[in-house]
Amino acid sequence: MAGSSQLVKELREKTGAGFLDCQKALTENGDDIEKAVDYLRQKGLAAALKKSGRETNQGLIHSYIHMGGKIGVLIEVNCETDFVARNEEFKSFVNDLALQVAAGKPSYVKREDIPAELIAKERSIYEGQAKEMGKPPAAWPKIVEGKLEKFFQESCLIEQTFVKDTAVTIKDLLALKISKIGENMNIRRFTRYQLGEA
């Protein structure tokens, strides 16, 4: 049966999307959960793109302490209205982002935040590594680009896979939350502290 209540429940737990959205996603994808998840992610990205131009000057600054006081995170996430900033789902999302920063150790929110000189330095290191591997010069650019992509995925919060669901990136999660809550959101900044770390 298309969009059966058990499948809808399972999809809602996986994605956090609304009942009707989950039912439609399952119907459109022949009750295939994985395809329905991809469908909802695509819809979420489309909705997020429509809202991306809207101003976000409300939000929340949240602190998260992990491992008995050994790791701490301070994060600012913005939204459009104070109403959403006080919403439990938004607060839970911000807490999940703080947990991600604690676990994933990103250095930047997005790749545009990385200084050009650091990218140039990383590129130079990867070129040296490609040469040391004895690969032909024609293969070096592809190797360097692959290593740079991995560097971006590790260094940028928005590109990391979500610690609670590795099938989803933080960018996808943000898009889904924008779609579900109905407001533009922006991960503005964060600071991660680890005891004894310089």
**pLDDT tens digits for 90-116?**
999 999 999 999 999 999 999 999 999
Alpha carbon 82 to its chain centroid, in Å, reads 23
pLDDT at 154 over 90: yes
Can you give the pLDDT at residue 23? 83
pLDDT of residue 1: 44
Could you please state the CATH topology (level 3) that the domain comprising 115-154 is classified under: GTP Cyclohydrolase I; Chain A, domain 1 (1.10.286)
The domain segmentation of the chain, as residue ranges, is 5-51, 58-109+156-194, 115-154
If we measure between CA atoms, which residue out of 60, 57, 62 comes closest to residue 191?
Answer: 62
Burial of 143 (0-12, 13-18, 19+ CB in 10 A): middle
According to CATH, what is the number of the domain 58-109+156-194? Answer: 3.30.479.20
Is the CB of residue 14 less than 8 Å from the CB of residue 37?
yes
Angle at Cα 76 formed by Cα 73 and Cα 77, nearest 5°?
A: 125
Q: What is the DSSP letter of 92?
A: H
CA nearest to 184, candidates 52, 40, 86, 17:
52
Tens digit of each residue's pLDDT (9 = 90 or more) over 122-131 = 999 998 888 8
| Lowest-pLDDT range of 16-30, 101-115, 133-147 | 16-30
The CATH number for 5-51, chosen from 3.20.20.70, 2.60.40.10, 1.10.150.20, 1.10.8.10, is 1.10.8.10
